[in-house]
Amino acid sequence: MFEYSPSETKCSSAAVSMGNNTSLTRIAACHASPVFLDAKETTKKAVSLIQEAASHDANIVVFPESYIPGFPIWSALRAPTENHRFFRKMATESVFVDGEEVAAVQAAAKQHGVVVSLGFSEKVRYSSATLFNANVLVGADGRILVHHRKLVPTFYEKLTWAPGDGHGLAVAETPFGKVGALICGENTNPLALYTMTAQGEQIHVSTWPAVWPTRPPYGDPPDLDILNIASSSKRDTRASRGAGYDNVGANRTRAAAHCFEAKCFGVLCAGALSEDAAALASFGSSDPDAVAQWLLSLPRGATMFLDTTGTLLPGFTFASSDSEKCVTEFLQKDEGILYADVDLDDCIEGKQYHDLAGGYQRLDVFELKVDRTRREPVTFK
């Protein structure tokens, strides 16, 4: 399905505190839009969301892929030769991992005693144009525990980001569980996922963009048969009918598979698409208003939780009253923070059956080696 149909949202004035059950971890997934291509303002928004989540007793706060300063949607809309101004803006607004924007998020994490997973577009000091699709896990003491760069940018993302390395394929030991994070399409990579499993991961964060277009706004060009594409009369996939890639269904499928295999909880955190972002990304098109409306009509990424069997774990939001909690399965079109309380002891029983990196693995038959070297362009001696 391209669009989820939520069950009726139910709100109650029941107490929302976790009380004396200290084994529960409260996760807050921020289904939020950035202040598009504005790193400083988006950072302010992120700090505000951390504060809000902490006020509702969150232990872990998660942000979407490339939240600062936004996702490069324009690469899906126009030819690379038409996007130089967008790339220049993206490079300017991308942030250093040791820069003031990440430092502000670290300070907020320390102030509120929460773990933060932040997606951002990273620039480096050895280049004016090399960028990485990055994610940091920040500890409750404000230290960066894991700094990951997406291994392989997906499809048109290669026009913005360079390939990362294995340095960040690590699980963070936190007071709230063992937390790992992978970015978008690399959650399809079974070796990367197994690497997280083999480190005892209990909570897996997967981050996603608000939309991921794979078809032009007005359908495929009419001369595909001349190019010998889609020439088979039996070909009748969703893509051949112009439906594009069902990223919403695909995201849940691969995240659920990992939760089932690793016996961990899953946090799918997608960005929200604002009208301003759609309009700006469509700027310069032959019909920008129509393209913007087309973008807004696409199926949005969904933010949700999965349990250790890969089953949807209903979350909850808070209404205007601090005491009113509304149970909901996911967030998709509207911005908000989705919460879930998870019991890490639930990670145990499944591994009694299938511990894929332990008692159910044949370490004498299979061997996986992971190089965690942080790659630099030159090494000086």
CA distances from 196 to 191, 268, 275, 368 (A): 9, 16, 36, 12
- 351 CB neighbour count, 10 Å cutoff: 18
pLDDT surpassing 90 at residue 111: yes
- Number of DSSP helices (H) and strands (E) in the chain, helices first: 8, 15
pLDDT digits (tens, 9 = 90+) for 50-103: 999 999 999 999 999 999 999 999 999 999 999 999 999 999 999 999 999 999
pLDDT of residue 4: 59
DSSP 373: P
Compute how many other C-beta atoms are within 10 angstroms of the C-beta atom of residue 375: 12
Nearest to 271, CA basis, from 160, 60, 120: 120
Query: Under a CB-based contact definition with an 8 Å cutoff, are residues 63 and 32 in contact?
Result: yes
Residues 51, 370 contacting (CB under 8 angstroms): no
pLDDT tens digits, one per residue of 155-173: 999 999 999 999 999 999 9
pLDDT average, residue stretch 1-12: 57
Is the pLDDT assigned to residue 33 strictly greater than 90?
A: yes
Q: How far is CA 297 from CA 79, 226, 254, 303, in A?
A: 22, 30, 24, 18
Amino acid type, 366 = F
Question: Is residue 103 within 8 Å of 95, Cβ to Cβ?
Answer: no
Omega before 213 within 30 of 0, i.e. cis:
no
The pLDDT, as a whole number, for residue 168 is 98
140, 152 Cβ separation under 8 angstroms: no
pLDDT-derived band at 1, boundaries 50, 70, 90: very low
Q: What is the pLDDT of residue 302?
A: 98
pLDDT of residue 12: 62
26-353 CATH: 3.60.110.10
Look over the chain and give the mean of its residue pLDDT values, rounded to a whole number. Answer: 90
The tokens of 72 are what?
């490069």
Q: Give the mean model confidence (pLDDT) for residues 215-228.
A: 56
Q: Alpha-carbon distance 184 to 233, whole Å?
A: 33
Alpha helix segments (H runs only) across the chain: 39-55, 84-93, 100-112, 190-197, 247-262, 275-281, 288-297, 349-353
pTM of the predicted structure, to 2 decimals:
0.92
Using alpha carbons, select from 187, 185, 190, 186 the residue that is nearest to residue 214: 185
